[in-house]
Amino acid sequence: MEAPPPPRLLSDIKAPGNLASVRHIILVLSGKGGVGKSTISTELALALRHAGKKVGILDVDLCGPSIPRMLRVQGRAVHQGDSGWVPVFVDREQSISLVSVGFLLEQPDEALVWRGPRKNALIKQFVSDVAWGQLDYLVVDTPPGTSDEHMAVVDALRPYSPLGALVVTTPQAVSVGDVRRELTFCRKVGLRVIGLVENMSGFVCPHCSECTNVFSKGGGEELARHAGVPFLGSVPLDPELTRSLEDGRDFIQDFPDSPAFPALSSIAQKILSETPVGLS
């Protein structure tokens, strides 16, 4: 029996469109819900912005669109322009732009009760019809799992050669097991894994600085070593990070002395090192 052909890599095809001026596309993935993909997506975008990059965020977590609140732009709306949908700009300098299904809901507590084909159609429309303009990075926040929605995202982005996937886990074995399947998904669809991040990795006491491993320790790093993918770092539980997300504040700017800041900054620097200096 002949061996099956290798998966077609995402870099194999090029196509024009509204993403043609986006230099690097990063998908934030996890096989497990509640590990903090939206948090990592938001803070990565903020860190890249503070590194002088122009960043877009595409929030395709259709059932849990939390990034508008994290960036304090809930209640805004996307508008139709000459070249497509115009994203919501987070700051006056227009260095971070965001598109989310949260902007399309009439009420903030409205549920998106859609079947797969309609969700997939919206994802494809987000990819093809948003006028992002010139971006250094587009960060794509995805729902948990390896379902139709993930295939729709990967297939829609395939012509634009994504830089790869940033995979998020928490330290405990239950999460690591699910995320291991996400790594298998990446291999099957030919999506390069930029690296793995262990989120909620210990709690550093703000009074004595002692670290308590609330959710075990080291599961993400061990998984990365076993899977042969880069380990980008561990982000601790940090009340200041939680508070900044609840209030829609810029954590990278406002909390440089917090326990999570060095980890998030280091992850962003490793992402920057993945891209040729001349392109960014």
Residue 56 known to bind ligand: no
Residue 204 known to bind ligand: no
Residue 31 known to bind ligand: yes
Residue 34 known to bind ligand: yes
Residue 37 known to bind ligand: yes
- pLDDT > 50? residue 103: yes
Mean pLDDT confidence for 84-97: 92
CA distance 221 to 212: 17
Q: Over the Cα atoms of the chain, what is R_g?
A: 18
The pLDDT, as a whole number, for residue 43 is: 96
199-209, pLDDT tens digit by residue?
998 887 777 77
Q: Give the global pTM.
A: 0.87
Share of the chain above pLDDT 90, in %: 49
Let me know if 11 is exposed, middle or buried by CB neighbors in 10 A (0-12, 13-18, 19+).
middle
- pLDDT > 80? residue 17: no
Residue 208 known to bind ligand: yes
Tell me which fold the domain 22-274 belongs to: Rossmann fold (3.40.50)
Encoding tokens for residue 225? 């070593």
Residue 188 known to bind ligand: no
Residue 143's pLDDT band (cuts 50, 70, 90): confident
Q: Which residue has the higher pLDDT, 99 or 83?
A: 99
Residue 186 known to bind ligand: no
CA distance 182 to 229: 13
Q: Which residue has the higher pLDDT, 113 or 84?
A: 84
* Helices (H), ranges, 95-206: 116-129, 148-157, 173-189
